[in-house]
Amino acid sequence: MERWGEVNNYLNVIQIGKELTLSGQMVILLHEILEAINYRLELGLEHSKLCILSEVLHQVLRDNKLSF
Ligand SMILES: [Zn+2]
């Protein structure tokens, strides 16, 4: 895998690089989920905003020791 993560919107599959730390995998997973939502709901969010959203969400989950 060239990138750390990718979403296939046709197969509904998200792939995450196993070389990442667990924390890194969670950030990428959140990011790819947001990418999929952005695509499916045609939200038209810029990629830079998706990056901010995934980082913020990860911080809230991590700082509150929430898992999903
Ligand atoms: Zn992305």
Query: 34 C-alpha to center of ligand 1: Å?
Result: 9
Q: Give the per-residue pLDDT at 41.
A: 96
What DSSP designation does 18 have? T
Q: Give the distance (Å) from ligand 1 centre to CA of residue 8.
A: 12
- What is the structure's pLDDT at 68? 63
Q: How many domains does the chain have?
A: 1
| Domain-located, residue 31 | yes
Output helix, strand, coil percentages for the chain, rounded to the nearest 5. Answer: 55, 10, 35
Q: How far is the CA of 51 from the centre of ligand 1 (A)?
A: 7
In a domain, 68, yes or no: no
Give the range of the structural domain holding residue 32, as residue numbers without chain letter.
5-63
What is the tens place of the pLDDT at every residue in 9-67? 889 899 999 999 988 898 899 999 999 999 999 999 999 999 999 999 999 998 998 87
Residue 9: what residue type?
Answer: N
Cα torsion at 22, 24, 26, 28 (round to 10°)? -140
Instruction: Kindly give the distance from the C-alpha atom of residue 64 to the centroid of ligand 1, in angstroms, as a whole number.
Output: 25
Q: Does residue 36 belong to any structural domain of this protein?
A: yes
Is position 42 within any domain?
A: yes
Q: How far is the CA of 61 from the centre of ligand 1 (A)?
A: 19
